[in-house]
Structure 1
Amino acid sequence: MQYFNDVKALIADLRKEPGKDIYCDGDSETIKEMLKYSLIDKMIISIIPHLLESGIRLFRDGLPEQNIKLVNSQTFASGLVQLSYEKANLKADRV
Structure 2
Amino acid sequence: MNSDIAETIAELKQHPGKDIWLYGGAGLIKTFITLNLIDAYRISVYPVVLGSGKPLFENLRERLELKLTDTNVFRSEVVQIIYESKNQ
Task: State the Cα distance separating 1:57 from its structure 2 match.
Answer: 1.2
1:8-58 deviation digits (Å, cap 9, x = unpaired): 232122122222421111111111011111110011000011111221111
Residue matched to 1:15: 13
Write out the 4+ residue segments of structure 1 that deviate beyond 6 Å after TM superposition. Answer: none
Structure 2 residue corresponding to 1:49, chosen from 39, 47, 52: 47
Cα distance in 2, alignment partners of residues 46 and 17 from structure 1: 29
Cα distance in 1, alignment partners of residues 60 and 20 from structure 2: 25
Cα distance in 2, alignment partners of residues 84 and 69 from structure 1: 8
Cα distance in 2, alignment partners of residues 50 and 15 from structure 1: 36
- Asked whether the equivalents of residues 27 and 58 of structure 1 are also in contact (C-alpha less than 8 Å), the reply is no
Long gaps (5+) in structure 2 = none
Is residue 71 of structure 1 aligned with residue 69 of structure 2?
yes
Aligned-CA RMSD value: 2.0
Task: State the Cα distance separating 1:62 from its structure 2 match.
Answer: 2.8
TM-score (norm: length of structure 1): 0.76
TM-score (norm: length of structure 2): 0.81
Letter in 2 for 1:76: F
